[in-house]
Structure 1
Amino acid sequence: MCFCFKKVDESLCNVIFLGMCFMILFAADFTLANMQKTILSSIHDEDPNFTVEGYTVLGVLYTVFSVTLWLGPSIVALCGIRCAFIFASIGYTFYIIAFNMEQAWAIYSGAMLCGLGAGILWTAEGKYLVLNSEGKLMARNVGVFWVFFALSTFYGNIYTYFELEGKKYIDRDTRRLVVYVLTGISSLSIIMFMLIRPAKKEVEKSELETEDGPITALKKTWSVFTTKDMLTLSIMFLYVGMQQAFVTGIYSPCVGFTLKFGDASKQLIPLSGLFCGVGSLIGGSTQILMSDKINKYSFGRSTAALVGFVSQLIAFLLIFLNLPNSSVFNNTEEEAIIESSIYIALLCSILLGLGDSCYNTQIYSLIAVMFPKESAQSCALYTFTKGILVSTTFYFSNHVGLHKQLATLATGAIIAALIYCYIDQKTVKTIRDKKKLQEQPDITEPDQLMTPA
């Protein structure tokens, strides 16, 4: 595929192949994250001495992930983008296989290794994406990447959906088979990352990159973080972290724990994850088709991001009505405010995925314009700040009911939308003013200093 795009657009070829690598890796990771709480609960049902909590494991993973992001730019500068991708994918693979050991030490160790890999992976991804994207092509390339990334929710979840058919509880043989299949998928991504090509800009500026070592990269990260606009955006990033935890690791288990859905409740876990992917695919592909308009109009990015925030607000309201408050903890027969509907549950999955894709792509587009020379640092800070709230959300999900979580998310969505629009329009105005200043004629010539009588 790379060779057929080479003559047309080498950078687009690189972005597509990067998307394919992430599609394979996260086909395994997303499926496991979706099933993790349920898998660990089923192990506890068979062995009461096994007390590993699914949300806590995810919290540990994202805590290590957040800390690693501060070192991510330095590690990428030291070992290079390709090696960073390979190491990170190995970490994800070890994490998946650890679940078949069914030992607390193995699962927590795997979570920490995966968190370390994730911090490096997303720093390298942001840098590679920016290096392959000129200013006006950023929205298109992020959209292309996001479409492939969204497709990752399909393959593993489709397999798991059929594997769990008719199962109200997940037995040991089924768990092991699922984990082995996901490990094989994740291992394939390691091979694919070995084949990834360097970005054109990376080749052209190789000498410059070698001078920009780990210490310099760390200093740049801090200098970007302390800017006023980045600190303001960090408030919005916190909401993105909360909703990411909810979308990727909390909502689908809530659907599966709602026994009012009948014997199909466990099958709805991968199906919910798959429909989240459908929403992400709709959001990403729509933004590709409309990338020219998004770039053309001053409110383009803000409008696309607002579509995402509104979609999720609608989803939060419907989930509040459709799922019982205790479904976040374990299997429950509790009734929701309305009669629980599978169709509403899956519609909410689509809306959550749509919202997530809309403002994630627009956030990357915005920070690429704001910090074009600090791509690795700005992307690392985005994922760092987001990761703090992902881990925190998983920790408190063990103790806070679903309805309180939804109220918090809805409030955060409104605040985040206001902040995004404010910073985006401020950035648009700054760029416009710079262009006007550059186009302004030189008034130092005598004839230009003369004024009409």
Structure 2
Amino acid sequence: MNPEGKRLLNIVILGFGFMFMFTAFQTCGNIEQTVIKSFNSTEFHGSGYTSMSIIYGVFSASNLIAPSVVAVIGPQLSMFFSGLLYSGYIAMFIYPYTWSFYTASVLVGIAAAVLWTAQGNVLAINSSDSTIGRNSGIFWALLQFSLFFGNLYIYCAWHGHVHITDKDRQTVFISLTVISLVGCFLFFLIRKPDPESSNSEVSEPLLQAESTESSTTSSQALDAFGKFVFKGFELTVLQNASCAHGLELTFYSGVYGTCIGAMTRFGQDAKSLIGISGICIGVGEILGGGVFGMLNKCNRFGRNPVVLLGLITHFVAFYLIFLNIASDAPLAPEAGTDLQAYISPSVGVALLCSFLLGLGDSCFNTQLLSIIGFLFRENSAPAFAVFKFIQSIMAALAFFYSNYLLLHWQLLILVLSGFMGSMTFFMAEWHAESSRRESDYDSI
């Protein structure tokens, strides 16, 4: 196999490894608050929202040390050991204890930072300037398919179940643990790519990053916060947009599924509808990401129309959720809530909102990544580090307040943050367009 073919194969294996791992982990995050409410143990007093808050909080802080870990043990072992910690978190739900639940949350936060740093390293060393876009698209598409398979399994496993028994829980989480472990071991199939001039047919395992890159990656991560945080117009824009995206990520990835499962007026299928909701979010993510990712290359009107579409899409979704879902749904006990919102609860409207949440998120996500790459072309790695840091901090905050705030207050926060984030994005796009025109004029 030629060197380019081996690099492409590595990207495909990387994508499948993440697809298996996040089929398990994203499904776990989507259902864990519902599952925790069904525990018959008086010794367990954990909260799924608090757990996710801990994960994202530790994740944000661990971004400072993750590059050093990857530099020392290499990206392949970094992804494998991080994947084992993800699998341990999922397996903890088979026989849960409060201490093990929160300990696993801290460990997964650390593992997440190492995992995504290593993923970026593998993607970079298997791509060139001409293939990075293609390889990123392949990886992203495979990752998003994780939303389909895990949630489809939940729908089939819980269909018609009003109460989640211990056996139901154990069967699901044993299956998810096995799926996650499959993804971990797939990382060992990734081989170190041959240089273009090499004729060797056998590649060594990808145990260590390139030495020159390893020596600088850690310092780049630390420099990111010294050089960029709270400095300059562009970073102010980046911070506001990152805050909004972190809050919205929390809502569609953990809170909204819990709300649907708590609605007793949806009938006996309310719990299984959590899985269908996740699938609808995935459809919106993949459809929007594919369409807007391609349009980003040829859109003569810039990024603002796509972001405006995302803002309108999310506002429509938030308004329909406000009308359709009871205000106490995020905090309802295992038996659910009998309250009605402002319209007769509709499963169709609930699933439409799931699709709109995914579609709107893809609008913001594709354009945020695009403008960060444009504004910080010379310092993209530190800028993306800041983006991930702020996003994780806000996600941790949102999961924390989800323990206490009724649905309508959470939606109000999302509306305000989405509006502010979009307005600052519009200013950044106008600034970027002005800079581009000045550059074109100077070249002429």
2:366 pairs with 1:348: no
Question: C-alpha separation between the residues in 1 aligned to 2:36 and 2:71?
Answer: 37
Deviation at 1:265, TM superposition (A): 0.7
Partner in structure 2 of residue 333 of structure 1 = 338
With normalisation by structure 2, the TM-score equals 0.88
Aligned length: 429
2:46 pairs with 1:52: yes
2:431 pairs with 1:426: yes
After the TM superposition, which residues 351-362 of structure 1 pair with which residues of structure 2 at under 5 Å, given as runs? 351-362=356-367
- Equivalent residue for 1:234, pick from 216, 236, 239: 239
2:123 pairs with 1:121: no
Structure 2 residue runs of 5 or longer lacking an equivalent are 197-205
Question: What one-letter code is carried by the residue in structure 2 that aligns with 1:381?
Answer: V
Do the aligned partners of residues 211 and 313 (structure 1) sit closer, same or farther apart at CA in structure 2, a change above 3 Å counting?
A: same
Do the aligned partners of residues 54 and 419 (structure 1) sit closer, same or farther apart at CA in structure 2, a change above 3 Å counting?
A: same
Question: What one-letter code is carried by the residue in structure 2 that aligns with 1:304?
Answer: V
Deviation at 1:397, TM superposition (A): 0.9
Question: Any conservation in 2 of the 1:323–1:340 contact (CA below 8 Å)?
Answer: yes
Question: Any conservation in 2 of the 1:19–1:146 contact (CA below 8 Å)?
Answer: yes
SS class of match (2:403): coil
Of the structure 1 ranges 317-326 and 134-143, higher mean CA displacement relative to structure 2 is found in 134-143
Deviation at 1:427, TM superposition (A): 2.7
Do the aligned partners of residues 74 and 369 (structure 1) sit closer, same or farther apart at CA in structure 2, a change above 3 Å counting?
A: farther
Question: C-alpha separation between the residues in 2 aligned to 1:73 and 1:427?
Answer: 30
Question: C-alpha separation between the residues in 2 aligned to 1:136 and 1:417?
Answer: 31
Of the structure 1 ranges 424-433 and 227-236, higher mean CA displacement relative to structure 2 is found in 424-433
Question: Any conservation in 1 of the 2:56–2:396 contact (CA below 8 Å)?
Answer: yes
Question: Any conservation in 2 of the 1:147–1:280 contact (CA below 8 Å)?
Answer: no
Of the structure 1 ranges 262-271 and 422-431, higher mean CA displacement relative to structure 2 is found in 422-431
Partner in structure 2 of residue 18 of structure 1 = 14
SS class of match (2:268): helix
Question: What one-letter code is carried by the residue in structure 1 that aligns with 2:375?
Answer: M
Q: Looking at secondary structure, tell me which structure has more helix per residue.
A: 1
Do the aligned partners of residues 187 and 362 (structure 1) sit closer, same or farther apart at CA in structure 2, a change above 3 Å counting?
A: same
Partner in structure 2 of residue 416 of structure 1 = 421
Partner in structure 1 of residue 180 of structure 2 = 186
Of the structure 1 ranges 56-65 and 358-367, higher mean CA displacement relative to structure 2 is found in 358-367
Q: Percent identity?
A: 32
SS class of match (1:218): helix
Structure 1 residue runs of 5 or longer lacking an equivalent are 441-453
Question: C-alpha separation between the residues in 1 aligned to 2:378 and 2:188?
Answer: 26
Question: What one-letter code is carried by the residue in structure 2 that aligns with 1:249?
Answer: G
Deviation at 1:130, TM superposition (A): 5.6
Partner in structure 2 of residue 315 of structure 1 = 317
Deviation at 1:80, TM superposition (A): 3.3
Of the structure 1 ranges 227-236 and 93-102, higher mean CA displacement relative to structure 2 is found in 227-236
Question: C-alpha separation between the residues in 1 aligned to 2:131 and 2:229?
Answer: 25
Q: Compare CA radii of gyration and give the structure with the larger one.
A: 1
Question: Any conservation in 2 of the 1:168–1:264 contact (CA below 8 Å)?
Answer: yes
Deviation at 1:195, TM superposition (A): 2.6
Question: What one-letter code is carried by the residue in structure 2 that aligns with 1:294?
Answer: N
Question: What one-letter code is carried by the residue in structure 2 that aligns with 1:349?
Answer: S
Do the aligned partners of residues 279 and 216 (structure 1) sit closer, same or farther apart at CA in structure 2, a change above 3 Å counting?
A: closer
Deviation at 1:295, TM superposition (A): 2.2
| TM-superposition CA deviations, 1:369-414 (whole Å, max 9, x none) | 3334544432222111011111111111111100111111011111
Question: C-alpha separation between the residues in 2 aligned to 1:74 and 1:329?
Answer: 40
Deviation at 1:431, TM superposition (A): 4.0
Partner in structure 2 of residue 97 of structure 1 = 91
Deviation at 1:147, TM superposition (A): 2.1
Question: Any conservation in 2 of the 1:56–1:394 contact (CA below 8 Å)?
Answer: yes
Question: C-alpha separation between the residues in 1 aligned to 2:235 and 2:192?
Answer: 29
Question: C-alpha separation between the residues in 1 aligned to 2:361 and 2:193?
Answer: 27
- Equivalent residue for 1:382, pick from 361, 382, 387: 387
After the TM superposition, which residues 127-206 of structure 1 pair with which residues of structure 2 at under 5 Å, given as runs? 127-129=121-123, 141-197=135-191, 206=210
Partner in structure 1 of residue 76 of structure 2 = 82
Partner in structure 2 of residue 300 of structure 1 = 302
Partner in structure 2 of residue 448 of structure 1 = none
Partner in structure 2 of residue 265 of structure 1 = 270
Question: Any conservation in 1 of the 2:67–2:217 contact (CA below 8 Å)?
Answer: no
Deviation at 1:99, TM superposition (A): 1.2
Question: Any conservation in 2 of the 1:146–1:357 contact (CA below 8 Å)?
Answer: no
- Equivalent residue for 2:31, pick from 25, 28, 35: 35
With normalisation by structure 1, the TM-score equals 0.87
Do the aligned partners of residues 308 and 11 (structure 1) sit closer, same or farther apart at CA in structure 2, a change above 3 Å counting?
A: farther
Deviation at 1:55, TM superposition (A): 0.9
Partner in structure 2 of residue 251 of structure 1 = 256
